[in-house]
A and B are shown apart, each in its own frame.
Chain A
Amino acid sequence: MNALSDKKFSTEVTTDVAADLASGAKALVSVDGLGVRYGRRQVLSGVNLSISGGEIVSLIGPNGAGKSTLIRAILGLTAHQDGHIKKAAGLVIGYMPQRLMIDAVLPLTVQRFLRMAAKVGRREINTVLEEVGVPHLRGAQVQEISGGELQRVLMARALLRNPDLLVLDEPAQQVDFQGQIDMFDLIERLRRERGCGVLVVSHDLHMVMSATDRVLCLNGHICCSGAPEAVSAHPEYVALFGPRAAESVALYHHHHRHAHDLAGEVLPIGGSLEAEPRAHPHAHPHSPKPPSGT
Chain B
Amino acid sequence: MFDDFFLRALLGGIGVALLAGPLGCFVVWRRMAYLGDSLAHGALLGVALGLALGIDLTLGIVAVCVALVAMLLLLQRQRRLAGDTLLVILAHGALSLGLVAVSFVHGARLDLMAYLFGDILAVNRIDLIWIYGGGLLILIVIAFLWRPLLAITVHEELARAEGARVTLVSIIFMLLIALSVALAMKIVGVLLIASLLVIPAAAARRLAQTPEQMAALASLAGCLAVVGGLFGSLEWDTPSGPSIVVAALVVFLLSLVIAGPVLFVRRHLIQAPHAPIGKP
Query: Which A residues are closer than 8 A to B by beta carbons?
Result: 72, 75-77, 93, 95, 97, 100, 102-103, 105-109, 112-113, 116-117, 135-141, 161, 167
Q: Which of B51-59, B93-101, B235-243, B268-276 contacts A (4 or more CB under 8 A)?
A: B268-276
Q: Are B210 and A112 in contact (CB under 8 A)?
A: yes
Number of A-B contacts (CB under 8 A): 63
Query: What residues of A have a CB within 8 angstroms of the CB of B147 in the complex?
Result: 116
Looking across the interface, which residue of chain B has its beta carbon closest to that of A75? B161
Given A135-B277, A139-B271, A109 and B153 contact (CB-CB distance below 8 Å): no
**A150 to B: closest C-beta gap in Å:** 12
Q: Are B161 and A105 in contact (CB under 8 A)?
A: no
Q: Are A102 and B155 in contact (CB under 8 A)?
A: yes
Q: Are B162 and A137 in contact (CB under 8 A)?
A: no
B157 at interface, CB cutoff 8 A? yes
**B197 to A: closest C-beta gap in Å:** 14
Query: What residues of B have a CB within 8 angstroms of the CB of A106 in the complex?
Result: 29, 153-154, 211, 214
Query: What residues of A have a CB within 8 angstroms of the CB of B155 in the complex?
Result: 97, 100, 102
CA distance A290 to B31 in the complex (A): 49
**A108 to B: closest C-beta gap in Å:** 7
Contact of A109 among B151, B154, B157, B209 (CB under 8 A): B209
Given A77-B160, A136-B276, A161-B162, A116 and B150 contact (CB-CB distance below 8 Å): yes
Query: What residues of B have a CB within 8 angstroms of the CB of A100 in the complex?
Result: 155, 158
**A261 to B: closest C-beta gap in Å:** 13
Looking across the interface, which residue of chain B has its beta carbon closest to that of A111? B210
Given A95-B161, A107-B205, A109-B210, A136 and B274 contact (CB-CB distance below 8 Å): yes
**B38 to A: closest C-beta gap in Å:** 20
Q: Are B29 and A105 in contact (CB under 8 A)?
A: yes
Interface size on B, residues (CB 8 A): 26
CA distance A141 to B210 in the complex (A): 9
CA distance A131 to B211 in the complex (A): 26
**A220 to B: closest C-beta gap in Å:** 22
> Which 3 pairs, one residue from A and one from B, show the smallest C-beta to C-beta distance?
A95-B161, A107-B208, A75-B161
B227 at interface, CB cutoff 8 A? no
CA distance A141 to B276 in the complex (A): 15
Query: What residues of A have a CB within 8 angstroms of the CB of B160 in the complex?
Result: 75-77
CA distance A117 to B164 in the complex (A): 11
Q: Are A108 and B211 in contact (CB under 8 A)?
A: yes
CA distance A134 to B273 in the complex (A): 15
Q: Are B274 and A137 in contact (CB under 8 A)?
A: yes
Query: What residues of B have a CB within 8 angstroms of the CB of A135 in the complex?
Result: 277
Q: Are B213 and A95 in contact (CB under 8 A)?
A: no
Q: Are B158 and A103 in contact (CB under 8 A)?
A: no
Give the interface centre of A107, A136, A139, A161 by most chain B CB atoms within 10 Å: A107
Q: Are A140 and B274 in contact (CB under 8 A)?
A: yes
Query: What residues of B have a CB within 8 angstroms of the CB of A77 in the complex?
Result: 157, 160-161
